[in-house]
Amino acid sequence: MHVYADNAATTKMSQVAINAMLPYFDKVYGNPSSLHSIGQEAKEALDAARETVAKCLGCEPREIYFTSGGSEADNQAIISAARVGARKGKKHIISTAFEHHAVLHTLNKLEKEGYEVTYLDVKEGHNVTARQVRDAIREDTCLVTTMYANNEIGSILPIAEIGAVCKEAGVPFHTDAVQAAGHLHINVKEQNIDMLSLSGHKFHGPKGVGALYCRRGFPLTNVIEGGAQERGKRAGTENIAGICGMAAALEDACQHMDENMPKVAAMRDKLIEGLSKIPHCALNGDPVNRLPGNVSFCFEGIEGESLLLLLDFKGVSGSSGSACTSGSLDPSHVLLAIGRVHDVAHGSLRLSLSEYNTMEEVDHMLKVVPEVVEHLRKMSPVWRDLQTGKREYIL
């Protein structure tokens, strides 16, 4: 049995998405900017895809800009709001301590340019509150950017409440919804979202394609300069096949959301309940407001990379925020941000599910994860010290 439990990293493409892409490689291969009929056919497909994505988010088609993925959409949203802010003398941005690097590194770049960023604390409940956002807003705040749901620990943020706070204060609100789109109900108008990023490959669509929703009237700054594609805001001949595949996947995901959500959440809950029985472990992330597919734990006394290697050997593909998996010497900033100390952050495991997983696979994971944890603990000097009282348990 092989269990793919790394759906937060990327997903298998659905047949619906693959089929939606195929015509655009060798049949409708025209450039949408061309006047001839092959080009115009491609233009029609592009328009249809834009309409589909807009419908899934509750906005107008003209408010959707296709990008090369979630990272580019995040970059463009943040840079755009920063430029608008600078023109008004406002150079303060509010974000959270557990954003994806696509957001964090863009903010770091702005900090070097003289912007000030407040990173909201996420230790309490492994989440933020709209109250924290309200309290952080200042006269010179030009943007609030918080993720919709966290990719590592699964916490779902109170987006509608944050949107309401931002609207009341007149501050633009961007959300990185890469982990939420296709999995949670989104309505940008009802939730007062000004900008939103999503990425095709997190909901069984293709990689390398994403979208930025930007409320009509909010001026975007180009990240990619060139031709007049995407209403002049994102140059480059459109990735028609990718865009059509993403739109089809998103539509499919939104249509089946109400049946998939409880199915995936039931597998998640069984997995969480079973793994919680392993001694000296802790669940990471908001236990209630949680992505349907996210399971994230820290196990004391072991290291994540060796855990992943052994799990892979036993047919389970997961991920970890340990230093030795990231290639840096520090464990994941998300785990550190929620207050996990280095010692336990190294022993993290994320299993992320989709509707393609089954209860049999959950049972398989419930069998092998405890075995592997025990095997590694048996050879761990840290675990021995914990057991003999030379070192105190943290979890």
Partner 1 sequence: MALYSEVVMDHFMHPRNVGTIEDASGVGEVGNAKCGDIMKIYLKIENDIIEDVKFETFGCGSAIASSSMATEMIKGKSIHEAMALTNKAVAEALDGLPAHKLHCSVLAEEAIKSALKDYYEKNGIPYDKTQFPDCENCGHCHD
Active-site annotation, residues: 324
d(CA 285, CA 298): 11
Based on the shown chain and the rule CB under 5 A, indicate whether residue 224 belongs to the binding site for Zn ion: no
Q: Which is nearer to ligand PLP, 248 or 281 (CB)?
A: 248
Q: Which does 147 bind (CB under 5 to 8 A by kind): ligand PLP, partner 1, Zn ion, none?
A: ligand PLP
Amino acid at residue number 104: L
Q: Which of positions 318-347 make contact with partner 1 (CB under 8 A)?
A: 322-325, 327, 329, 331, 342-343, 346
d(CA 176, CA 199): 10
Q: Which is nearer to Zn ion, 1 or 379 (CB)?
A: 379
d(CA 113, CA 55): 37
Based on the shown chain and the rule CB under 8 A, indicate whether residue 382 belongs to the binding site for partner 1: yes
C-alpha distances (whole Å) from 98 to each of 64, 121, 150, 198, 228 are 26, 9, 7, 17, 35
Provide the minimum distance between the beta carbon of 234 and ligand PLP in the complex, in angstroms, as a whole number: 14
Provide the minimum distance between the beta carbon of 9 and ligand PLP in the complex, in angstroms, as a whole number: 7
Within 8 A by CB and 6+ apart from 309, the residues are none
Residue in 65, 66, 98, 383 binding partner 1, rule: CB under 8 A = 383
Residue in 44, 273, 312, 371 binding partner 1, rule: CB under 8 A = 312
d(CA 343, CA 341): 6
Based on the shown chain and the rule CB under 8 A, indicate whether residue 219 belongs to the binding site for partner 1: no
C-alpha distances (whole Å) from 121 to each of 99, 136, 338 are 11, 11, 8
Count Cβ atoms below 10 Å from residue 111 Cβ, excluding itself: 13
Q: Which candidate, 317, 287, 59, 291, places its Cα nearest to that of 190? A: 59
Provide the minimum distance between the beta carbon of 70 and ligand PLP in the complex, in angstroms, as a whole number: 3
Based on the shown chain and the rule CB under 8 A, indicate whether residue 353 belongs to the binding site for partner 1: no
Give me the residues that bind ligand PLP (CB under 6 A), please.
Answer: 69-71, 74, 100, 102, 147, 151, 176, 178-179, 199, 210
Interacting residue ranges for partner 1, rule: CB under 8 A: 301-303, 305-306, 309-310, 312-313, 322-325, 327, 329, 331, 342-343, 346, 378-384
